[in-house]
Structure 1
Amino acid sequence: MERVSKSALFCSVLVALFLTSYAQQNCSSFTFENNKQYTTCSKLPVLSSSIHWTYHSSNNTVDLAFRNTGTSSTRWVAWALNPSGQQMAGSQCLVAYTNSTAIHAYTSPIGSGIPSLQEGSLSFEVPSISATLSGTEMTIYATLQLTSELLSTNQVWQEGPLSGGVPASHLTSGNNVASVGTIDFRTGDKKRN
């Protein structure tokens, strides 16, 4: 019996290593439409999303691409940093959706009240932001000018429907409440709590 347990444990470890390696390989081998390359990536565990980035230590900037592969022109996507916790309140968001004429990408700080994705300045500079929609894949591209305190912090990502051509509330159950974790732009460490 002990031999069977050890064999099962060994097989489980091998499968876990394979899946982790495959997820990283799958994530890092992606080619972006603009031929941009990123040094680090992480396949996020829910909402069909991944984050790709290059950290520039000389000036604490991060070039990133947030990908959501399960969206449409009737949905919005967002990715955010939140130094105050793993929740939407307090998040500093990058948001994208398709309006009637083009893809709209912008920044949105989320206050402590009822979350809304109103356009506004973040607590850090975002010198550039844009987005693309190709089939069911929305990608937000941005450059972030971060303080040293934000280089390792909480991250939140979301998706939701449009209503009247603007972002409406997302689900408050399932994967939508599990879409939190941490990220360290310097080391590439990330985890989901």
Structure 2
Amino acid sequence: MASFSLSTIYIVLLLSLVSLSPALSSKCNTQKFSHKRVYDNCVDLPKLRANLHWTYINSSVSIAFIAPPASPDGWISWAINPTGKGMEGSQALIAFKDPKLSSMIVQTFNISSDSIQPSKIAFNVSNMSAEKSGKHMKIFATVFLPANMTTINQVWQVGSAVDSNGIPQPHAMSPANLNSVGELNLLGDDSISPAPQPSESSPAPAPIGKKNGGVSMMKMKIGNGFLIVMLIVSSIFLIVI
């Protein structure tokens, strides 16, 4: 009986640990960058399989945004919207492979209309660069914000094509694309307010921004999982005894 109970416990523990494996796979805290770049915070964004890393210092935010484009020749974008919670008005950084040079570039775009053209944006930006690694593209930049602007409306997006003049073509209109917006607390703590309820015409922002967000989410999943394991093991002991 003791041998049977011990074997049962091992099997239950093994199955429980396997069920927890998604919490350990490909989260933002495992991502590494070239040139030894490191950031204070990271979060796994809820849409488009994207990740954001950032460090906020003295009204500037250095970011690394990672996402798989909708096709190998597509584009990725990360933006701040200082006037609203959707795409229109977004001050965007868009990365893609330059069709003429065949190298990765990142440009600024003021998304003020359906006509998308490279343009100056409302914020000063430095250290812009872009990379492609496997199926993912990466944007690096430092954005200079107004003093005391510690919560931002962020918008992220991916698209499938860039024309011969280097203009990103429209993205898909799937629910994931339409809801890739959220509120980010640059200080990385828990002082974020709940997002307002969405109207029919606007997608719901997702409150984001806990310190090392991806790490916190993973710990929460693992903690809950081990609690379940312990409850199962305790139940087995009671049955066997």
2:156 and 2:72 mapped to 1: Cα distance?
18
- Given that 2:72 and 2:160 are in contact with CA atoms closer than 8 Å, whether structure 1 keeps it comes out as no
Q: Kindly state the Cα deviation for residue 87 of structure 1 after the two structures are TM-superposed.
A: 1.0
1:183 and 1:53 mapped to 2: Cα distance?
11
> Which structure's relative contact order is higher, taking Cα pairs within 8 Å and 6+ residues apart?
2
Q: Which amino acid aligns with 1:108?
A: F
Query: Which residue number corresponds to residue 110 of structure 1?
Result: 111
Q: Deviations over 1:119-178 (max 9, x none)?
A: 111111102211001111100000111113542021110011224333100112321001
SS of residue matched to 2:176: helix
> In the alignment, is residue 68 of structure 1 matched against residue 83 of structure 2?
no
Q: Which runs of 5+ in 2 are unaligned?
A: 1-19, 193-204, 208-241
Query: How much identity, in percent, do the aligned residues show?
Result: 33
Q: Which runs of 5+ in 1 are unaligned?
A: 1-17
Q: Kindly state the Cα deviation for residue 63 of structure 1 after the two structures are TM-superposed.
A: 1.0
Query: Which residue number corresponds to residue 192 of structure 1?
Result: 206
Q: Which amino acid aligns with 2:78?
A: W
Q: How does 1:28-67 map to 2 (within 5 A)?
A: 28-56=29-57, 59-67=58-66
Query: Which residue number corresponds to residue 127 of structure 2?
Result: 128
> In the alignment, is residue 80 of structure 1 matched against residue 79 of structure 2?
yes
User: Aligned in 2, Cα 1:188/1:98: closer, same or farther, shift over 3 Å?
Assistant: farther
Normalised by the length of structure 2, the TM-score is 0.64
Q: Deviations over 1:32-53 (max 9, x none)?
A: 1222111100100111101101
Would you tell me which structure has more strand in proportion to its own residues?
Answer: 1
Would you tell me which structure has more helix in proportion to its own residues?
Answer: 2
Query: Which residue number corresponds to residue 159 of structure 1?
Result: 158
1:157 and 1:130 mapped to 2: Cα distance?
17
Normalised by the length of structure 1, the TM-score is 0.79
Instruction: Give structure 1 regions of 4+ aligned residues with deviation exceeding 3 angstroms.
Output: 22-25, 69-73, 188-191
User: Aligned in 2, Cα 1:150/1:24: closer, same or farther, shift over 3 Å?
Assistant: farther
- Given that 1:72 and 1:137 are in contact with CA atoms closer than 8 Å, whether structure 2 keeps it comes out as no
